Amino acid sequence: MKINKFKKALMGVLLLVALPVQAQDFGGRNGGDPMELRFQEIALDIQQWMAKGGAKSLQLPSEISLSDYEMKMNAMLKMATVSFTPNAVIVDGAEKVCINFPAVKVIQCNVDRFKNLSEAEQYMLVHHEYAGLAGLETNTGSKSDYSISAQITYSLETVLVRKLAVRNANSILGMEFKSLPGGTFMMGSPRCENGRENDETQHSVTVSGFQMQVTDVTQMQYFKVMGSNPSWFKAQTHCPNQFVSEGGGICPNHPVEQVSWNDAQNFVDKMNTQNDGYTYRLPTEAEWEYAARAGTTTAYSFGNSSSLLREYAWYDENSGGGTHEVKTKKPNAFGLYDMHGNVWQWVQDWYGSYSIFAAVNPQVASGLYHVLRGGSWGRNEGCARSAGRYFDNPGNFSYSIGFRLVRTPR
């Protein structure tokens, strides 16, 4: 990859028009906007790349030191949020993509060609904008402007290759992942919560950022990786409109079940042979609950009342005695489906009592049983609570037990 290729991109597709305006002039869009999420995903990739010392591979122009680059870029990445504005000022007939810096009450906007860019160009645009706002790039067209944008994209090439590889793999498997920011939350349940069990002692937990699979692993995903489908609910009667006869029968979009914890580990091992730049695993119990809560402190991700549960979950009152396709109920605020109900989900941890003390990335590393979370099609609303816990032998399987994956960049 040569720098002149990126010069051309910057001079053409990525020619930026910066326009600072007062933050109150804009009204942000829904946080689920696909462009916004993509923009944030790339910014997170760059931030993780920075945290791993990736900037050391840059060939920076002499006027910019490595320490200055790292300090200013990290400051920008931590300060900024992204907003997409339906009523923004229009420049050259184009709507804006805006990075909002609330601390200084300024929004910096660029011409919106983002949706039509290649992945490499998207990375360059995002980096170019952050670097420009950090004062690390001079006027568009300058030597340092070309050098930094080209070098950052060159250095991120491995990230791009990994993301493209996993995208190709995931397009075949149909897997989707959501990047979840790290954070601190109260794990467990308050004593007054309906359905609470005595192994749900509340305690403060901090987890690092990770990527959670949007759905449970489906029967088709499992079959394509493992070459078999152990599920009970795989007959044509269970999915008359989508049934696949291959492999003894597959309901492709139903969650895979009748998988033990050991089976899930074998699936993980197969996924990790892809060498696609990610390490796949089961979520820890803390990660699972953090993802299920999606920022809430209530019994469910939507509140304390189980009266709304049928809108979010398949459980004993509405399942009809079996699993259902993933993504047929409402997602939580993180965009994750079936965190309540459908099938129990294995997590990485062994089962154990909670500590009363605050913990960072906790994990129970030994024991007799592994933890299951989320409830299932055959259990009641109490089991579907965000704090609800269950456990089983790692070699046991059931037609109500499945799993979903977490992945982290290598």
Q: Give the span between the Cα atoms of 91 and 83, in whole angstroms.
A: 17
Residues 6+ apart with CB under 8 A from 142: none
Contact between residue 289 and residue 187 where contact means Cβ atoms under 8 Å apart:
yes
Residues 6+ apart with CB under 8 A from 52: none
Kindly report the backbone phi and psi dihedral angles of residue 243, in degrees, each rounded to the nearest multiple of 5, phi listed first: -60, 135
CATH fold for domain 176-409: paralog of FGE (formylglycine-generating enzyme) (3.90.1580)
Q: Report domain extents, the chain.
A: 3-155, 176-409
Give, for all 410 residues of the chain, the pLDDT tens digit. 333 333 333 223 222 222 222 222 222 333 345 555 666 777 777 777 788 787 777 767 777 788 888 888 888 777 766 554 444 444 444 455 566 665 555 555 654 556 666 666 677 777 777 777 777 764 444 545 545 666 666 666 656 555 655 555 555 577 899 999 899 999 999 999 999 999 999 999 999 999 999 999 999 999 999 999 999 999 999 999 999 998 899 999 999 999 999 999 999 999 998 777 789 999 999 999 999 999 999 999 999 999 999 999 999 999 999 999 999 999 999 999 999 999 999 999 999 999 999 999 999 999 999 999 999 999 999 999 999 999 999 999 999 999 999 998 87
